Structure 1
């Protein structure tokens, strides 16, 4: 796992395993062509660009990373998907910004596709691992020359599964490792509890592989009567590892928070919407100089030039200054129905951790 970046370490371990396996075949899949050292998500890439300017390794890497991001944001994206075309659909716009791909959100079954796509990747990988043909999986379950929309990428994975699904897999049930939408008014403790449920099941899956158990057997044994097994499970599932995972995954709101702003006509500064500001901040942190964003209700395309600190309209060539502002954190929004979209403060996280420790739901520290 040493080849993974800090951002990638914050992903679910189910997807980290796929990325780590992909690195083993970097040379066979063309290595680096577009990126100098590590593929990342910045903007949607067209099929023509993928065909001419990217390697198979980079395409597969970006697909895995995009589906991993979708896994963590699926509740928020489906909540915002209003069934309209891209320019009027905030859910699909969020999918493009965060996951580097788009889809037809106005078609029937769009939300079902959003929920099933990451699961298809995980199942296909487990099938490939069981068969021992990992390079074949990376070559045949992904197609750099096909339509790079979510529908096209998922279709390729499903075709692979149709051909190879007879191989048994040991993947954890999707509902066990996916955040579920919470009712309005959910408290910070409820939000932390939903993250804890998923984290516990992820740890169970990892532990099952270490102990060479099936996932269901590991689930039965993790808190069972065998004290030795329960103690061994506490090595991976405890308050310390839970805190680390929540921080790595961006669940904990950092202080101070960052807001990117653009200078408007009267010389004042206007803040970007939260997702756009987060995308700019991610590019800033990754030292990426150029970023394309679709902004406003019509989804107009703009180029963010972080080197020169300007927002550029590629059609009119008009530019506006931008700036990065640090501000005190604001309280988390407990009314949000999507736990993946809510940021907890350090205080809220610690209060929740202590509650679950006191309830003997979460071991306080490794044995």
Structure 2
């Protein structure tokens, strides 16, 4: 199986999960659910360490201009997120009133409640949270750029080697099994299909918009770097499929990082931008939340106020930075805005959560794939030669 490469293994895992979920007994399914619980707990523990271990030394290696590139990356990510939200708003506002009928609002339960539970769980509390890891990485990384000695830099470089080894030897080999378990459990639960059927037309529209968004992102990145955008997008496809299975930008960091380096981004720039964008770049999630919130408003007969909704999009790009790198994190972070700015009732927020989680992975996959385009742009702006990546600079555990 290892000889097949990551992309075919992920595809096989998704297909097997859907097919075997139709007839495997629940007792067998719960074995994989238990594994997924353990693996998910480990991901929750290791993700903050991945952020610190990759971002901190990468900022230090960028030198005294690191603060500038931190701001540039954050600005590009926020701009991409807001653009996605505005695009979704304009297209959905024009099409959804013709696709949906007011008064068709139905209450659906959260599909996660229908999933099978594990036989047992093991608590693996992270040393600190994702946002704490980001702030710590920024503070220490920027501090490394002004230190007169490089002793601490060497220490963080060694930490990066440890993290990269864990990624290459543990996380990436087990990801297909994890994705198989997710799709197996979702198929057995059955309720996800019910939620998807309710909003099938909206789902098709959202999927089409995510495809357009990715093409626009890579067209811009390709024009700036002189690379073939379609080829770069194809290279990032393993990250897309991994996120499709995990529904987590943070859990997909190892694959996104590897593919970003493969499209020619310098390793030190990729190690800086990819973990950062996994937390702050939520273009796909924003597009999906905007589209489905408009759908709920149309179904419930709520008047759509354009200025208020645009303000909602601007706030959404900031609020979802606090979303944990776990499935469904973005919608839970945005639920407060749905109530306070759009006036959603509790059942309407529940419908949003149910619908979002049912197809959470498509927005996440768009997020992480777009991270590759941002990495290309930042690498170019910072003076990188994306057309000639230096093999000797690539971290060995992440290639091959």
* TM-score, shorter chain, exceeding 0.5: no
Query: Which TM-score band applies after superposition, normalised by the shorter structure?
Result: under 0.3
**Structure 2 length normalisation: TM-score?**
0.24
| Larger helix share, 1 or 2 | 2
**Structure 1 length normalisation: TM-score?**
0.25
- Larger RCO (CA under 8 A, 6+ residues apart): 2
